[in-house]
Structure 1
Amino acid sequence: MPVAPDSVLVIVPAWNEERNVGGTVEEILEADPRYHVAVVDDGSTDGTARAAREAGAVVLSLPFNLGVGGAMRTGFTYALREGYQRAIQVDADGQHNPADIEKVLAGLENADISIGARFAEVGDYEVRGPRRWAMVFLASVLTRVAKTRLTDVTSGFRAAGPRAIQQYVRYYPAEYLGDTLDSLVAACHAGLTVTQVPVAMRPRRHGVPSKGPIGSAVYLLRSVFALGLAVMRRTKATAPEELQEAIA
C-alpha cells in the first residue's frame, strides 16, 4: 500500500540502545501521526530490536555492526522502496527532540538537505577543547563546499528530500565520520543544496557520551583527515531510473 504523500520516515540507527530506543520511538510517534519510524538495529547484542518493535517501530535488522553510515543507507533504501518523499535521522539515545522534527523538515522547502544545527544560538549545547576546534574548522570548510553558511556539519539530526534520498541510496559512506562529512560533501558535489535550522539538544537518557579528553584530541586529527579525503573525492548523481533498477 503506497504511503501518503505527507508521510515522513524517521530513521533511527541503533546499536545496543535497549534502554533508550523504546522511549525514543514512542515520543516520535506521539509527536505527529505522519511520522513512521524505522529503527535500523545495527547488529545489536542486547534487546534493541525487541524494544523498538514493542514501541511501534518497523525494525530493519543488520546481521552485524556496520556503523551509522551502513545503518542509514539501509534506512534510506527502505524509504525509497516504500515511496517516502521525506526522511529524517533521529538518534536512538534521546538527544534529538522529536518536537524539533518539524523544524528540520521545514528546511526541505528550500533545500534538498536540512541539518538541525546545535551551534546556531538555540539551547545550551556546548563542546570545548579540541573537539570544538575541529567542529569549527569542519564547518568553515563545508560552508565553502555547500556555498551556504553551516555551523554544525557533524550533526546527525538531518532531513532528506526526494533527491537526497536517491543520492544517499547510491552513496552513503560507512567509514569514520562518513555519515556526516563525506555524505554531505558527496551530496554537494552531486548538485544537491543544503540548509540548516537551529535546534536544541538534550542529554542522553541513559549511558555516557563516547568522547572524553583523549577521544576529543583523536577526533580532531581523524576529522581533519576524513574531511580531506571527502573533499578530494568527486561523485556524480545517478539518474532516478538507474537508481530504481539498482535496488529493485
Structure 2
Amino acid sequence: MKKIVIIPAYNEEGGIVKTVTDVMENAKDFDYVVINDCSKDNTLEICHEHNFNIVNLPVNMGIGGGVQTGYMYAYRNGYDIAVQFDGDGQHNASYLDSMSKKLVEENLDMVIGSRYIEKEGFQSSGMRRMGIKYFTGLIKLLTGKKITDPTSGMRMINRKIMKQFSEEYPKDYPEPESIVTILKEGAKVEEIPVKMNAREEGVSSISPSKSIYYMVKVSIAVLIAAIRK
C-alpha cells in the first residue's frame, strides 16, 4: 500500500528538518510531503537546501487549507493511506507503522494518535486540556463516540476519507469538526496511545488570547456539522 505523511508547515524553520528526518528514519514505508503555507521565515529555503519534497503555497491558506492541499496531493498521486503530522517536532514517526497496522487490520476510516489514553509524554497546557475535555464531551453527546484527543494533529485516514477531505475540508481549526462530520456519516474512527513532545521552536496558532474565540467558533462548527449530517 502507498502511504504518505502530510506535513503542514507555517513558519517552522526551527523544527522542519527534525520532523522530516524523523519520518525518513522511523517511518521508512511512508513517503512525505511538506506543505509550506506561505511561511514568512526560512522554512521554504531550508526545505530547498535539504532537497525535501515540498508543495509551496503562494498565499497563506491556514491549517485547513494546508492540510487539504496535502490530501489533494495524496489522492491525486494514488496513495492509499495519508497521515497528518505536525511540522514542529511534537509528533513521533515511530508510531506511524502501528497506526497504519490498526487502520488496515481493523478496517478503519481514521486512526487518531492520542496523548490522553495512557497520559504519557507532553500533555499540553492546563487551559488547552480543559478545552480538549470539553470537545471530547461535546463530540460524545453529538455522535455517541468518545474521542479522548479531538484536537490531535496526528491523524491517519484511508483513501475513501482522503477523497472526501480533498474535496471538502474545514478551513479553520478543522480537527474536531472533521471528526464529527465523518462520524455522523458512519465512519469508523479509533484512537491509539502515543507520546508527544513539547514544542521546541515556533509558536502555537492557538494563543491564550484566541482560546475563547477558538472554543466558540469550533463549537458552532461542530454543531453545524452534526446537524448537516
TM-score normalized with structure 1 length: 0.83
Q: Is the CA contact 1:185–1:230 (under 8 Å) kept in the aligned structure 2?
A: yes
Give how far 1:148 is off.
Answer: 3.3
The worse-fitting range, judged by mean Cα deviation, of 105-114 and 210-219 is: 210-219
State the AA in 2 paired with 1:87.
A
Aligned partner of 1:159 among 156, 159, 172: 156
| 2:19 corresponding residue in structure 1 | 24
Q: Which runs of 5+ in 1 are unaligned?
A: 235-248
Give how far 1:145 is off.
Answer: 4.4
What does 1:33-112 correspond to in 2, within 5 Å? 33-109=28-104, 110=106, 111-112=108-109
Q: Is the CA contact 1:167–1:187 (under 8 Å) kept in the aligned structure 2?
A: no
C-alpha separation between the residues in 2 aligned to 1:21 and 1:223? 28
Give how far 1:217 is off.
Answer: 4.2
Query: How many pairs does the alignment contain?
Result: 227
CA separation of 1:140/1:208 partners in 2, compared to 1, >3 Å: closer, same or farther?
same
State the AA in 2 paired with 1:143.
K
CA separation of 1:35/1:225 partners in 2, compared to 1, >3 Å: closer, same or farther?
same
C-alpha separation between the residues in 1 aligned to 2:63 and 2:120? 25
Give how far 1:212 is off.
Answer: 5.2
CA separation of 1:8/1:97 partners in 2, compared to 1, >3 Å: closer, same or farther?
same
C-alpha separation between the residues in 1 aligned to 2:37 and 2:43? 9
C-alpha separation between the residues in 2 aligned to 1:213 and 1:63? 29
C-alpha separation between the residues in 2 aligned to 1:146 and 1:207? 35
| 2:147 corresponding residue in structure 1 | 150
Give how far 1:100 is off.
Answer: 1.5
Give how far 1:181 is off.
Answer: 1.5
| 2:137 corresponding residue in structure 1 | 140
Q: Which runs of 5+ in 2 are unaligned?
A: none
C-alpha separation between the residues in 2 aligned to 1:128 and 1:206? 16
| SS at 1:79 equivalent | helix
Greater relative contact order (CA < 8 Å, ≥ 6 in sequence): 2
Give how far 1:127 is off.
Answer: 4.2
